Amino acid sequence: MTARERLVRIGEVAREAGVSVRAVRYYEQQGLLTAERSPSGQRLYRQDAVTLVRFFQQMYAAGLTSQRIAQLLPCWSSGHTDAEQRAMLRAERDRIQAKVDDLQAALDRLDEVIAITDAHP
Amino acid sequence: MTARERLVRIGEVAREAGVSVRAVRYYEQQGLLTAERSPSGQRLYRQDAVTLVRFFQQMYAAGLTSQRIAQLLPCWSSGHTDAEQRAMLRAERDRIQAKVDDLQAALDRLDEVIAITDAHP
DNA sequence: CTAGAACCTGACGCTGACGTCAGAGGCAAG
DNA sequence: CTTGCCTCTGACGTCAGCGTCAGGTTCTAG
């Protein structure tokens, strides 16, 4: 027998995840998120949708595209990967690491300027 | 007497800075870069234009807009700032720092998945 | 002198994650 | 019943840093 989960509507998902309703619909359109439908056609999400949406936001912030996230979602949910997915995971990781280094360099640059300009009032 | 500097054309600036010619023109349009003009109208840059362009790229990579860079350029070149500029500098610094933290979190997340999927062949 | 590379000024196109508007239906409260 | 909020499906708008094409001039090598 299937466990009776509490289903929530799109507004609640959006609010709890801190994104817009439009964004949540967009994730569905990109194949990242699926929802049951009420008889009247309203989307009904399981609780973990909120967690998923937060995860998407984190990946977007890290520079991944919807397509990449969609391709890597199985790794996340099933814990299993093929060679191509492992390669993508590593590529994204390296890209993010490089970006962190770039940002750190820019940060150091700004801190330099801040230090200098703080010394000259 | 003004020192006779070696002036370079836009193609050389772009090549040495690793960006497109279009990008260099764009920077001028955004008020980031100025150039003398040859009698025939070609842009002539001083050597340090290359350094500047690289700096712009670094700031762009850090998420600053053209407008922000333009507003902060005086700080960089003259070493002098007003209160507003100092506030902007700090705001950008904090934003970048936050972004670094976000990226680091995403990185840890991916590394987790990589570790797990490497264990399950 | 001539071919080709490099340069010029517009001006439209692109990308990706949404914002926003229009028009219509759904749902609990008073 | 109706008021008001939530939701639906399209579909066009946005923004920023360029890419790209058109149509023309200019510089440079041979």
Is the pLDDT confidence value at A40 over 90? yes
Whether B118 sits inside 8 A of A90 (CB atoms) is no
pLDDT, residue B77, reads 86
Do B59 and B89 have their domain in common? no
Work out the pLDDT band at B4, boundaries 50, 70, 90. low
Q: Which of B16, B38, B64 is the last residue of a domain?
A: B64
Do B54 and B87 have their domain in common? no
Q: Which domain holds residue B45?
A: 1-64
Q: Closest nucleotide to residue B42 (Cα to C1')?
A: C7
Our count of domains for chain A comes to 2
Contact A44, A6 (CB under 8 A): no
Do A61 and A91 have their domain in common? no
Determine how many CB atoms are found less than 10 A away from the CB of residue B75.
Answer: 20
The C-alpha R_g of chain A, in whole angstroms, comes to 20
Do B60 and B119 have their domain in common? no
Do A68 and A85 have their domain in common? no
In one-letter notation, the amino acid at residue A87 is A
Residue B38 within a domain: yes
Residues A94-108: tens digit of each pLDDT: 999 999 999 999 999
| Domain harbouring B33, CATH code | 1.10.1660.10
Q: Does B90 touch chain A (CB under 8 A)?
A: yes
**Closest-approach residue (CA) in chain A for B107:** A93
Strand C interface, B 39-98, C-beta < 7 A: 41-43
- Is residue A43 within a helix (H) or strand (E), and if so which, with residue range? strand A43-44
Do B50 and B11 have their domain in common? yes
pLDDT, residue A121, reads 64
Which residues in chain B have Cβ-Cβ distances shorter than 8 Å to A92? 110
Cα distances (angstroms) measured from residue A45 to each of A13, A29, A35, A62, A69: 8, 15, 5, 25, 19
Which residues in chain B belong to E strands, given as ranges?
A: 36-37, 43-44
Do A68 and A33 have their domain in common? yes
- Which candidate from B58, B79, B117 shows the least CB-CB separation from A117? B79
Handedness of CA A91, A96, A101, A105 (dihedral sign): positive
Both tokens of residue A58?
């984190």
Do A54 and A87 have their domain in common? no
Is the pLDDT confidence value at B3 over 60? no
In three-state secondary structure terms, B120 is coil
Contact B73, B65 (CB under 8 A): no
Do A60 and A3 have their domain in common? yes
Do B59 and B85 have their domain in common? no
Average pLDDT estimate for B86-107: 96
